[in-house]
Amino acid sequence: MPATEEKRILRAFDRGADELVLDLEDAVAPQRKDDARALLAGVLAEVLAGPRAGGVGVSVRVNAIRSPWCHLDIAACVGAGDGPLSLVVPKVSDAGDLAFVERLLDGIVAATGRTAPVRVQALIENAEGLSRVAEIAAHGGRLEGLILGYADLGASLGRAPSTPPQRWLYVQDQVLTAARAHGLRAIDGPYLGTADDAGLRAAAEHARELGYDGKWVIHPAQIATVRETFTAGPEEVARARAVLAALEDAHRRGAGAVGLDGEMIDEALAVAARRTLARAQ
């Protein structure tokens, strides 16, 4: 959501998304950066102080590190209100970029007395970041997730915007593996069209089958399809509960595995079952 129109931002909280990413980076022209930052700080002061956000996560995509605006964005947003907030850091190239953000946040939190958590999500969207994604994921600190950014990464790699999801498999697996190895969320980047069409559904289903936790969208019309794709359905939930119940019963009897409907159930399948139940929340 571009951080340039207050009324549109406030309406966006009612569109059914799990998280709203307010954008100070690509969606804002250079000559409007300062005005957008000031407007967004006012919106955050209202949103973070009251119930408007409801259960919707509030995130801000700040400008890239080494730009003239990154440190100003972080200071303004974090100092705007004392509610849970996430910073999406674009074009993360190495763990040093995250270390800079951590030190800056330490100082801002100390100066403002903020008590609510500030989370960090790293956008993997250039060749440097992709080549160091394991190092980035291992940084720790406030980092809670990796997001795969197709448009900028495609440009960095020389890959066409129309490249289908299956051609990104190597990249998708790299980001997913790095996230899982360090207990982070893995979020698939947006489908670059704005329609709720077969291409969007195919891209979302592909990411879910790979193991991603969710997917960004760039148009409100796409929210319902993506939520439906990533939310476990009743049959999946029932199966997951049956798996956990069967394995718990086996453990009480001293067995490490048990048969269920012709399938051997062990701890590996229990991990998948717990992830299914988490997606149903």
Q: Binding site annotation covers 94?
A: no
**Rounded CA gap, 215 and 199, in Å?**
14
Q: Binding site annotation covers 61?
A: yes
Q: Binding site annotation covers 125?
A: yes
Do 67 and 29 meet the contact criterion of CB atoms below 8 Å apart?
no
Domain ranges of the chain: 6-230, 234-278
Tell me what the pLDDT averaged over the chain comes to: 92
Class of domain 6-230: alpha beta
Please, how many CA atoms are within 13 Å of residue 206, restricted to the half-sphere of its CB? 18
pLDDT tens-digit series, residues 186-198: 999 999 888 999 9
Per-residue model confidence (pLDDT) at position 27: 94
pLDDT level of residue 54 (50, 70, 90 thresholds): low
Do 250 and 272 meet the contact criterion of CB atoms below 8 Å apart?
no
pLDDT tens-digit series, residues 175-218: 999 999 999 999 999 998 889 999 999 999 999 999 999 999 99
Query: Which residue shows structure tokens 């990104």?
Result: 168
